[in-house]
Amino acid sequence: MTRRSSAAVAVGSGMALALLVAVPGPAEAKVLLCRGSVVTIDLSDPDAPNPNRDRKDVVLGTEGRDVIRTGGGNDEVYGGPDDDTLASYGGDELLDGGTGQYLAIFDFDEMTVGAVVDLAIVGPQDTVGAGTDALVAIEDLWGSRYDDVLRGDAGPNVIEGFEGDDVLEGRDGDDRLDGGRGTNTCDGGPGTNQVLNCVVPD
Ligand SMILES: [Ca+2]
Ligand SMILES: [Ca+2]
């Protein structure tokens, strides 16, 4: 983990004003229009606060291999360059990997049911166990200890279900599917796939 935690460029006020917030970093985050307040956390800033808090945060990863777990609130996380790991929490979040191989983890202590995640969906999706999240430029998925349904996209994906009876689907591309413990069902789809700890349907 290369988190170098952080300072808030606290932007905003208690007034119900619309604020234009310029966020350096990923092109997608250049300008955000917000009501109320947003805190931008740049993990390369040694004075920044911990992003794991119960308000909306915009978290910008560093050029290193970040591991970013969001907190409460509807956070936006931009991994930035390099291969990062982004972990969803319960809010309605945006997880944007950027360039590189990105892993999104759907597992946290407060979960009570598994996650349903489809990397082929553009825009927000109901993950059931982890809020309504939008995933951008994410290649790999890790599920929870519960029964997950995890689906890849047309490219190569690495998908792991861990505990629980999981359903994993790779679709196109050369995928690696690992169901972990439990009675899992895996469908690698077209391509040269590696399938572990799974029942493969006919
Ligand atoms: Ca499993
Ligand atoms: Ca795939």
Going from the Cα of 187 to the center of ligand 1, the distance in angstroms, rounded, reads: 14
The tokens of 7 are what?
A: 């300072």
pLDDT band of residue 14 (cuts 50, 70, 90) is: very low
Going from the Cα of 54 to the center of ligand 2, the distance in angstroms, rounded, reads: 34
Going from the Cα of 120 to the center of ligand 2, the distance in angstroms, rounded, reads: 9
- Residue 146, C-beta contacts closer than 8 angstroms, at least 6 positions apart: 111, 112, 113, 114, 115, 129, 163, 164
Going from the Cα of 119 to the center of ligand 2, the distance in angstroms, rounded, reads: 9
Going from the Cα of 14 to the center of ligand 1, the distance in angstroms, rounded, reads: 45
Q: Reduce the DSSP state of residue 50 to 3 states and report it.
A: coil
How many Cα atoms occupy the beta-carbon half-sphere of 108 within 13 Å?
19
80-84, 111-115, 196-200: which range is least confident on average? 80-84
Average pLDDT for 181-189: 97
Q: Which residue has the higher pLDDT, 164 or 23?
A: 164
